Structure 1
Amino acid sequence: MTRRFIINGKFLRAPMTGVHRVAAELARGLARLQAARDPAVAGMAFEVWHPHDAREPASLGLPTRLLAPLTHIPWEQLTLPLRKGDATLVNLCNIGPALAADAVTMIHDIQVHQTPDSYSRAFRLWYHAIQPAFARRHRRILTVSHFSAAEIARVGLVPRDRITVIHNGADHVLAEPADPAVVARLGLAPQGFVVALASTQAHKNIGVLLRAFARPELAGLRLALIGGTGREAFVAAGLVPPANVVFTGRVSDAELRALYEGALCLAFPSTTEGFGLPPLEAMTLGCPAIIAPCGALPEVCGDAALAVAPDDVAGWAAAIASLADDPARRAALVARGRAQAARFTWEAAARGLAATLAGL
């Protein structure tokens, strides 16, 4: 008898984020296993159900079904559980319908508890209300690191023995050839810039990089902040970028690859992360990473990244400058990074998800 699993496709209606990337790549991984008739998915059938405003559901490689007319939270909390029948719901983006009991949900982190200032009051209230409601009912909680598993249990959402860890992959960055035109368009020189996230969220801690790049030892380098948040939003948040900061805006996967491959390094000073995908993406493409040793970052990066305390401005400036001044040190870090990143693949993640579902 074939067991049916419905992947909650609500994430397809929003612009791509790290959490949405994980959901998409896990779905694609399951699709590849099915296409290969892999024993890991024997006796299992997967579909992606989505609201009417989803973007490119067919790109996931699985059968899809449109459910109308609702969308967003009402679609997820009402339409999805009321129409799923005897299928098991698979929710991969932090939230699942509280009405469903036959479901598994991936909670990537508990940063609404750890760094509440990173989120709006409405967002915090919603997560504090809905996550305990579905966590108690769903058959299994998934997460992306052992750090996150311990934190989910610590705040009392579910006991640790009800949580399965499935590490993310990073090899999606190899799917698209690089588009190096973005480097020239932004006026950047190869290995003359550092990449980081364009985020004003408190836990992303980009302020420490802005202060580091205002120091004289980094005057000859530029900081390229990747993402849709622009200079005005930083200033409004009290984060004033120095003159050597460039805002890339949103970039395609091909442009992101070119930026990683052209950069001196990635700087990732987060004070907490449930996983921390950008360092692994960078390492996969030969871009060394400097991280704050916080959250899941030590678990994910091992000894393949340089580590600097999240509040050590001088330390961040010195670590970045050391890679510019010592090509041999940078090359050694590149080699360690590639080896570390190779341990994290979406095939392994999809197999882990399939094994968890088969064991329900």
Structure 2
Amino acid sequence: MKTIASKTIAFNGKFFGAAPTGVHRVAEQLVAATDALIAGQAGNDVDYAVVVRDSVEVPPYRNISCVRENPWVRRIHRIAWEQCYFPLARRKDFILNLCNLGPLLHRDSATMIHDAQVYSAPESYSLGFRLWYKFLFFFIGKRHKIIFTVSEFSKRELIRYGVASADKIVVVYNGCDHVLQVQPDEGQLAALSLKPRRYVLALANTQKHKNIGVLFKAFAGAELNGVELVLFGGATQADFENLGHVVPPNVRFAGRITDPELVGLMANAGALAFPSLTEGFGLPPLEAMALGCPVIAAPFGALPEVCGEAALYADPFSPDAWRLNILTALDDEATRQSLISAGRRQAGGFTWKRAARNLFETVKAVTR
């Protein structure tokens, strides 16, 4: 039997210890699923390691070792660590970067670029952020052996903007089954005075492409007076109002909440509203579907690809369309049950085991 040449595949663990984001969640789940997948792989003399800075906490993996750099490395800025120290320290390894960026000096690498929104939605990012990401994307796309992305839509966008050629880009869909392992905490319902099925969840995110303003306009209508809009995430009411949004009185801000609290909110919500003008994937709609929460989404970006026929779609520029679809999801029992059943089936096709297998097999092919 042909075996893989001795090599270490090193996960770039820069995301451990950083503020939680959707991209970091994907990276954590992929590493954990890969750890489970490589158990008992006969004839495989490849070592797997996640490389982190000395002080951060890492889950106790069974088959992936944790390499902690020397304590003095803490003093190095995270960009210098990723671009200079990390590739030099692991120069003999194949480096796998899962959070958009990776070291330019290390050609024997693969990087997951989740979307091309610094090109397609530039108004959502600062000038410095856009320039830095475009600079790195240009060289990563040319120098690294594989570019992973999370949807066919994102692949087309990366090709369109010249980040990488089609033959180098491999699509690895996210999973969503992690939410089924979380014990729900329903404390937020009492804290926010919410009635099950009489509130709609959405992201508290001020980025322009997230398009939360259309929901404020929808919930300002008299038809939704008895329904609450619950926003979860870091943005506050003041953040939205400072950008000129008028926040109606039936909007609640949950703030940053734990995974159990989010699962508790999703499992009891009337619907999840996701009006984004573009998305590289769109994980919250699938998480909601897995938990039996109907989804209303904009037909833009990767959302139709990911949600399929299991969601209601609304014009992202029409508050009336959102009001109508929200009332349908909440009050039309036949439609609601159809959405719940279709959503569970749709979500069932997106597992971290499948994602890890696609990642694992692709990397294995280039490290023989």
TM above 0.5, yes or no, is yes
Greater displacement, 60-69 / 173-182: 60-69
Q: What is residue 253 of structure 1 aligned with on the other side?
A: 259
Tell me the SS of whatever aligns to 1:58: coil
After TM superposition, give the deviation of residue 58 of structure 1 in Å.
Answer: 2.8
After TM superposition, give the deviation of residue 138 of structure 1 in Å.
Answer: 0.4
CA distance in 2, matches of 1:156, 1:3: 31
CA distance in 1, matches of 2:182, 2:155: 32
Q: Is the 8 A contact 2:271 2:330 kept in 1?
A: no
Taking only the aligned residue pairs, the percentage that are identical comes to 46
1:50 to 42, 49, 52: 52
Q: What is residue 263 of structure 1 aligned with on the other side?
A: 269
2:34 maps to 1:26: no
2:103 maps to 1:133: no
1:283 to 289, 300, 308: 289
Structure 1 length-normalised TM: 0.96
1:80 to 66, 75, 86: 86
Tell me the SS of whatever aligns to 1:126: helix
After TM superposition, give the deviation of residue 348 of structure 1 in Å.
Answer: 0.3
CA distance in 2, matches of 1:71, 1:38: 37
After TM superposition, give the deviation of residue 80 of structure 1 in Å.
Answer: 0.8
Q: What is residue 37 of structure 1 aligned with on the other side?
A: 40
Partner amino acid for 1:24?
E
2:340 to 334, 339, 357: 334
Q: What is residue 12 of structure 1 aligned with on the other side?
A: 16
1:190 to 196, 199, 202: 196
Q: Is the 8 A contact 1:304 1:340 kept in 2?
A: yes
Partner amino acid for 2:219?
F
Partner amino acid for 1:90?
L
After TM superposition, give the deviation of residue 45 of structure 1 in Å.
Answer: 2.0
Q: What is residue 315 of structure 2 aligned with on the other side?
A: 309
Q: Would the alpha carbon gap of residues 49 and 309 (structure 1) be closer, same or farther in structure 2, given more than 3 Å must change?
A: same
Tell me the SS of whatever aligns to 2:16: helix
After TM superposition, give the deviation of residue 15 of structure 1 in Å.
Answer: 1.6
Q: What is residue 241 of structure 1 aligned with on the other side?
A: 247
Give 1:203-214 correspondences, 5 Å limit. Answer: 203-214=209-220
Q: What is residue 157 of structure 2 aligned with on the other side?
A: 151
CA distance in 1, matches of 2:189, 2:77: 38
Q: Would the alpha carbon gap of residues 51 and 281 (structure 1) be closer, same or farther in structure 2, given more than 3 Å must change?
A: same
Q: Is the 8 A contact 1:194 1:266 kept in 2?
A: yes
2:356 to 350, 354, 359: 350
Partner amino acid for 1:242?
P
After TM superposition, give the deviation of residue 43 of structure 1 in Å.
Answer: 3.4
CA distance in 2, matches of 1:77, 1:95: 10
**1:100-133 Cα shifts (integer Å, max 9, x gaps):** 1000000000100011110111111111111111
CA distance in 1, matches of 2:339, 2:171: 27
2:65 to 60, 63, 66: 63
Q: Is the 8 A contact 1:53 1:71 kept in 2?
A: no
Partner amino acid for 1:57?
V
Partner amino acid for 2:144?
H
Tell me the SS of whatever aligns to 1:311: coil
Tell me the SS of whatever aligns to 1:187: coil
**1:189-230 Cα shifts (integer Å, max 9, x gaps):** 100100000000000000000100001111110000011111
After TM superposition, give the deviation of residue 38 of structure 1 in Å.
Answer: 4.1
Structure 1 unaligned residues grouped into runs of 5+ = none
**1:212-251 Cα shifts (integer Å, max 9, x gaps):** 0001111110000011111111111112211000000111
Tell me the SS of whatever aligns to 2:200: strand
Between the two proteins, the alignment pairs up a number of residues equal to 357
CA distance in 2, matches of 1:59, 1:71: 26
**1:250-278 Cα shifts (integer Å, max 9, x gaps):** 11110010000010000000000000000
Greater displacement, 68-77 / 115-124: 68-77
Structure 2 length-normalised TM: 0.94
Q: Is the 8 A contact 2:91 2:106 kept in 1?
A: no
Q: Would the alpha carbon gap of residues 53 and 125 (structure 1) be closer, same or farther in structure 2, given more than 3 Å must change?
A: farther
Q: Would the alpha carbon gap of residues 332 and 38 (structure 1) be closer, same or farther in structure 2, given more than 3 Å must change?
A: farther
Q: What is residue 172 of structure 1 aligned with on the other side?
A: 178
Q: What is residue 217 of structure 1 aligned with on the other side?
A: 223
Partner amino acid for 1:344?
F
Q: Is the 8 A contact 1:52 1:71 kept in 2?
A: no
